[in-house]
Structure 1
């Protein structure tokens, strides 16, 4: 099963998404939060985006966040202890089995895969989700690992 939600990037979207994904693990919710926050920070608040969480044939959980800016690619930063940000991709790299970017002519999708299956009832039991006027994102990349 697949969870999919199209919405606008805004800070209030992050806790809303975590609520919709409450039946998933903390790691899944954290990766979604990081990817969405990257859109907000690096592509811009109000950017339309789509968030997908699904299971793969290999028994993993795949998270995808698509935005309409194919030119702003995610780049891992070197952070020091006093930096207030810049750790999102390092966190994603530590939690995910793999991650990457799929490029399109008018969009990009940043994705990651975690070594866990989503709960079967988690997505089936959810009520239909109506898009809100919110959400967030950032610049990330490790290269296209497709």
Structure 2
């Protein structure tokens, strides 16, 4: 089991690429779904709270799952899953997150919020899945509703 990765940084467009690179190194190879989820969550911070906001990105693998968390200092600006029109230039990030992950949610603290998501570890790392796991593909929907591991304000997923 690998130790969790924690990155503390300022949310900027340039930092998004650095986080993707760090995730690839942490996972030991390609992890496109995990990198896309991190990109979307960090981009939401930049877009809705502004450039230069301090964030903490955490990722860890446990019990067949990879959990990604992005914490920012604004507990009031909550993500909203919406449906973008065909001609909208934005508004699809959380829909992508929802489609790629087993579940996702938001935890509010007194001076922060954490948006988190969980992917099957086979989906977020280059290691081959065992024969009981579905193939790694963003077209596969994994249907699994685990019990809550900690209190949540909101939880989304299957």
Look up the match of 1:8.
Answer: 10
1:53 is displaced (CA, Å) by 0.9
Return 5+ residue gaps in structure 1 as ranges.
Answer: 121-142
Count, aligned residues = 124
Give the TM-score normalised by the residue count of structure 1: 0.79
Give the TM-score normalised by the residue count of structure 2: 0.73
1:12 is displaced (CA, Å) by 0.2
Secondary structure of residue in 2 paired with 1:145: strand
1:48 is displaced (CA, Å) by 0.3
Secondary structure of residue in 1 paired with 2:9: strand
Return 5+ residue gaps in structure 2 as ranges.
Answer: 127-152
Measured against aligned partners, the alpha-carbon deviations of 1:11-63 in whole angstroms (never above 9, x if no partner) come to 1011111111222510011100001101000111110000011012x310000
Instruction: Return the structure number with greater relative CO, CA threshold 8 A, min gap 6.
Output: 1
Greater gyration radius: 2
Counterparts of 1:83 and 1:53, CA distance in 2: 31
Secondary structure of residue in 1 paired with 2:155: coil
Match of 2:33 among 24, 27, 30: 27
